[in-house]
Amino acid sequence: LILACALAAKVVVDLRWERAPLFGFTSPYIVYCHNLQRAGEPVEQAWLSYAMQLLFFGGLIGASLFALVRTYF
């Protein structure tokens, strides 16, 4: 539940601001949109695919790391 909330917060921050509020680096969502435009893909629904990918792969990696740490430590 904590992982899902953290990933959802990251999605909101990435979609809302072009630069991260605390660190000032460019949002990965902006880079994602530029890459889609460069490939000639539409960017109207890019926010949805970005959010789904971030939640899926972030959850997969986070759950794997949690299981690894819990198993060996």
In this prediction, residue 22 carries a pLDDT of 82
pTM of the model: 0.87
Confidence bin at 16 (pLDDT 50/70/90): very high
CA distance 73 to 34: 41
Q: Are 18 and 26 in contact (CB under 8 A)?
A: yes
Average pLDDT over residues 63-73: 95
- Dihedral sign for Cα atoms in the order 30, 35, 36, 38: positive
Query: What tokens were used for 72?
Result: 């060996």
- Whether 21 shows a pLDDT value over 90: the answer reads no
pLDDT in tens, 29-66: 999 999 999 999 999 999 999 999 999 999 999 999 99
CA distance 4 to 63: 10
